[in-house]
């Protein structure tokens, strides 16, 4: 599965949201698995969109055929768009599906890892971080993805911001020490996204 993560700064909120509804045509596209997104809780005016495709060839075919027609509706409504593609590696919790209807919040963590620490980082994600997140009440599902250049994406879906906040307060610092996160990471950024039901496809 291929994951596309788009982050942008919105300059025309109404126009952007109107354009976002045009993506409702996506389910007819071969290989499309799901899309959702919303507004950053931490950075005013920043929007995130996550879309999922069965494979890179399906995604490339969509980009070549239909993408520009659907995207035209949002032209001029945002700036500073950053687009990244990740290959799905494994679930956080079990049975990941690109479904957004039962979640209120998505936590996104994007990291660049030292080349000699990539295997350690992935192993710690699987053996330490995943069970800790999966054991948190309110954490629904998530996935771990990888991109060229030792970049990784951890996407987790939560029932509410309050549930995610509890997990952060109780566990994150302790787990970071236990997994030697500081030794693995070159750069780490993250955000908490309030999902917009109207953007779910």
Taking the whole predicted model, whether its pTM rises above 0.75 is answered as: yes
User: How far is residue 156's CA from residue 59's CA, in Å, rounded to a whole number?
Assistant: 22
User: How far is residue 175's CA from residue 201's CA, in Å, rounded to a whole number?
Assistant: 34
Q: For 73-84, write each residue's pLDDT tens digit.
A: 999 999 999 999
User: How far is residue 108's CA from residue 195's CA, in Å, rounded to a whole number?
Assistant: 12
When mean pLDDT is compared across 20-24, 26-30, 171-175, the lowest value belongs to: 171-175
Q: For 96-154, write each residue's pLDDT tens digit.
A: 999 999 999 999 999 999 999 999 999 999 999 999 988 888 999 999 999 999 999 99
Which residues share a beta bridge with 107?
156, 192
User: How far is residue 9's CA from residue 77's CA, in Å, rounded to a whole number?
Assistant: 9
pLDDT of res. 86: 98
pLDDT of res. 93: 87
Q: For 25-67, write each residue's pLDDT tens digit.
A: 999 999 999 999 999 999 999 999 999 999 999 999 999 999 9
Extents of the domains making up the chain: 2-195
Indicate whether 169 pLDDT > 80: no
Instruction: Specify the CATH number of the domain 2-195.
Output: 3.30.70.100
Between 62 and 171, name the one with better pLDDT: 62
| 44: its two tokens | 């005013």
pLDDT of res. 116: 97
- From residue 152, alpha-carbon distances to 52, 73, 137, 199 in Å are 16, 31, 24, 24
Indicate whether 170 pLDDT > 80: no
User: CB of 125 within 8 A of CB of 117?
Assistant: no
| 158: its two tokens | 């939560």
User: How far is residue 141's CA from residue 103's CA, in Å, rounded to a whole number?
Assistant: 9
Q: Which of 139, 141, 101, 129 is nearest to 188 (CA)?
A: 129
Question: What string of H, E and C letters represents the secondary structure of the chain?
Answer: CEEEEEEEEECCHHHHHHHHHHHHHHHHCCCEEEEEEEEECCCCCEEEEEEEECCHHHHHHHHHHCHHHHHHHHCCCEEEEEEEEEEEEEEECCCCCCCCCCCCEEEEEEEEECHHHHHHHHHHHHHHHHHHHHCCCCEEEEEEEEECCCEEEEEEEECCHHHHHHHHHHHHHHHHHHCCHHHHEEEEEEEEEEECHHHCC
């Amino acid at each position: 599965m291929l994951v596309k993560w788009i982050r942008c700064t919105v300059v025309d909120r109404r126009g952007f949201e109107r354009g976002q509804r045009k993506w409702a045509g996506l389910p007819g596209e071969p290989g499309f698995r799901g899309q959702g997104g919303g507004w950053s809780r931490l950075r005013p005016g920043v929007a995130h969109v996550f879309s999922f495709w069965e494979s890179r060839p399906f995604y490339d075919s969509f980009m070549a055929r239909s993408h520009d027609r659907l995207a035209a509706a949002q032209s001029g409504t945002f700036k500073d768009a950053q687009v990244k593609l990740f290959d799905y590696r494994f679930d956080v919790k079990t049975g990941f599906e690109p479904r957004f209807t039962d979640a209120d919040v998505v936590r996104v963590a994007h990291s660049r890892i030292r080349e000699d620490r990539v295997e350690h980082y992935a192993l710690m994600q699987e053996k330490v971080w995943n069970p800790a997140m999966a054991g948190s009440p309110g954490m629904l599902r998530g996935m771990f993805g990888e991109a060229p250049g030792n970049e990784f994406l951890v996407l987790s879906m939560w029932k509410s911001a309050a549930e995610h906040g509890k997990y952060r307060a109780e566990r994150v610092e302790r787990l970071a020490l236990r997994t030697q996160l500081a030794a693995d990471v070159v750069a780490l950024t993250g955000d908490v996204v309030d999902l917009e039901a109207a953007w779910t496809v």
